[in-house]
Chain A
Amino acid sequence: MKFTLIGKHETDSRANRDAYVDAMQEMMAKDPKLCHIDCDLYGCINTGKLEKAFPKQTFNAGIAEQNAMGIAAGLTATGRTVFMHSFGCFSSRRAFDQAFMSCAYAQLPVHVLGSDPGVCAAYNGGTHMPFEDMALYMAIPDAVVIDPTDYAMLYDVTKKLAASGKFSFNRMIRKGVTKVYDDGADFEIGKGVTLKDGKDVTIIASGIMVDEALKAEETLAAEGISAKVVDMFTWKPIDEELIVASAKETGCIVTAENHQVKCGLGSAVAQVVAKNVPVPMEMIGIEDRFGQVGAQKFLQEEYGLTASHIVEAAKKAVSRK
């Protein structure tokens, strides 16, 4: 692992999706067996670029996610590495049985991509807003389940997944996201990233919540509370060692996720904590609610996914020690 934390809360001028497309382009040039299959959403994640450059490795299944998932399984059985994409709601909920049986159970390590995770589905609204995509995929034995933080991470993780030989689900934000890491960062699946050290509380976050956690850390520091911040992009396998060590160091934990808390990151961390070092925990995430339509900023307020919510949760966790 090697990275430089930027942490200035500035939005990357590049569309996040291009991190995936760039990584794929580089890899496809070297590996004719690397494929991408899409579901009438080239236009949304810019994979039309892949089709242009590598027409024999890029497919559009039309609006047929279950079929695309099955085709990905068959292509994988012929020795290919296949990334399958749709919006996160459809590549999880819609095509889940195919992902489960044709792919994972059959030991065909397809790489599933779900764009517009959680509140990032914004104007597409509640019908399109996956708060349970990660939960579904975490329930699959031995699956790798990732919520990448920014451009640098999505780029690196795409390459790591392609080389992993493991069935995976990876979230992908389309638009510009806050830059947390400098380009060239190197991550390890199964290893969380400690972004700040602290002694009073550990904030464990992923995806869009990492920047919120970093902001919360600053507010807490100003109030005399020292927070450790961990980017747990790797929900499964989760970094048990880091969670246990953090719980011991700081004595309480706050998790923060763009997903429902039940069966999400909060639950995954709580399992590790309860088994090894029971300490007070607070969880920031969606509390048993459906999605709804609106701007992402509004939705983050509506569902309590902001730095100030993390700050309140951290104070509560500290007070419960």
Chain B
Amino acid sequence: MQKEKLKELRVFAEEIRVETLKTIGSLGFGHVGGSMSIVETLAVLYGDVMKVDPKNPRWEDRDWCVMSKGHAGPAMYATLGLKGFYPVTDAYTLNQPHTNFPSHTDRTKTPGIDLTTGSLGQGMSSAVGAALGNKMDGRNSHTFVFVGDGEADEGQVWEGAQFAAHYKLNNLICFVDSNKRQLDGTVDTIMSHGKGLGAKFDAFGWNVIDVADGNDVEQIWNAVQQAYQSDAAPTCIILNTVKGKGCTFAEPSGAHSSQPTKEQWDEAIAAAEARLAEVKAQ
């Protein structure tokens, strides 16, 4: 990747981080952990690889993105706002009466949200359906879906996976946010994944790419380029991420949802802004 592009994506990631924190901070509590772990991937998708038109969110030839771990809605809202789908500050109405920015991503409310999620596992199947439809229509379009490593407990994730491999949906790319934590604790203690999620997807007939640092934009970008080469199978990109990444109160605890004090919010946002300035200056 070109140096300028790399820097641009790093800056975009930190901007998403700041805006996600401001969005959840506007309410004071929410799913910070699982939002923070995916901001670099969202930066790669919306900052470079995805074909989207902020002025025409339902553009037929677009690439699709499905946040199957729907509780990471705030990270999507920050990304889409920064991308120009709406003023990014609109997302500060998160969970307020009659908002278009609910906890979980909702295609009927937010411009740029392709499918509705919230009940874990379901986004995987609907993403598979979208990939199938776009493929049947002969569109040059990719569907990206984010699945949590806890979410992968759901049988539906695997029902979707088997269908996608069976129908050779090479236009489907699934990011597994392997932040090693679910709600009640670590994935290994709550519900372990046998030989690992990569091995499972492999056994289901998927092309599997392991990204050693899933919070590194360059590694993520490279993985997507590699996924684009797959000619017959869907690709699973395992992102080894950190839950709460870059948030002063959420990263040390790895908490699933957080309700910190006003001071802690201020500190977290200031730290993220400082990090953004630092990356910009590099």
Contacts and interface: CB of A to CB of B under 8 A. Distances in A.
A64 B256 CA distance: 18
Contacts, number: 89
A90 interface: yes
B95 A293 contact: yes
Contacts of B179: none
Nearest to B73: A125
Nearest to A123: B95
A25 interface: no
Contacts of A40: 150, 153, 182-184, 190-191
Interface in A107-150: 123-128
Contact of B96 (A63, A93, A94, A294): A294
Given A63-B151, A125-B104, A43 B95 contact: no
Interface in B148-190: 150-151, 153-155, 182-184, 190
Task: Give the size range of B's interface with the partner.
Answer: 20 to 34
Contacts of A67: 155
A152 interface: no
Contact of A127 (B119, B183, B190): B119
A224 to B, nearest CB: 35
B121 interface: yes
Nearest to A65: B154
B119 A94 contact: yes
Interface in B92-129: 95-99, 102-104, 106, 116-121
B47 interface: no
Given A41-B184, A64-B153, A292 B119 contact: no
Q: Which of A66, A124, A125, A128 has the most CB of B within 10 A?
A: A125
Contact of B154 (A42, A48, A64, A128): A64
Contacts of B119: 89-90, 93-94, 127-128
Interface in A73-124: 89-90, 93-94, 123-124
B70 interface: yes
A60 B182 CA distance: 12
Interface residues on A, range: 20 to 34
A203 to B, nearest CB: 27
Given A40-B184, A41-B183, A293-B95, A123 B191 contact: no
A225 interface: no
Nearest to B192: A62
A302 interface: yes
A302 B117 CA distance: 23
A64 B184 contact: no
A293 B153 contact: no
Contacts of A292: 98, 102
B95 A62 contact: no
Interface string A23-50: 0000000000000001011111000100
A298 B182 contact: no
A43 to B, nearest CB: 5
B153 A43 contact: no
A61 interface: yes
A126 B70 CA distance: 12
B96 A43 contact: no
A73 to B, nearest CB: 16
Query: Which 10 residue pairs are nearest across A and B when measured between Cβ atoms?
Result: A62-B191, A127-B118, A62-B153, A293-B102, A125-B102, A63-B153, A64-B153, A42-B184, A127-B104, A40-B183
Given A60-B191, A123-B103, A125-B102, 20 more contacts: A40-B183, A40-B191, A41-B183, A41-B184, A63-B121, A63-B153, A63-B154, A63-B183, A64-B155, A67-B155, A90-B119, A123-B95, A125-B95, A126-B118, A127-B70, A127-B104, A128-B103, A128-B119, A293-B99, A293-B103
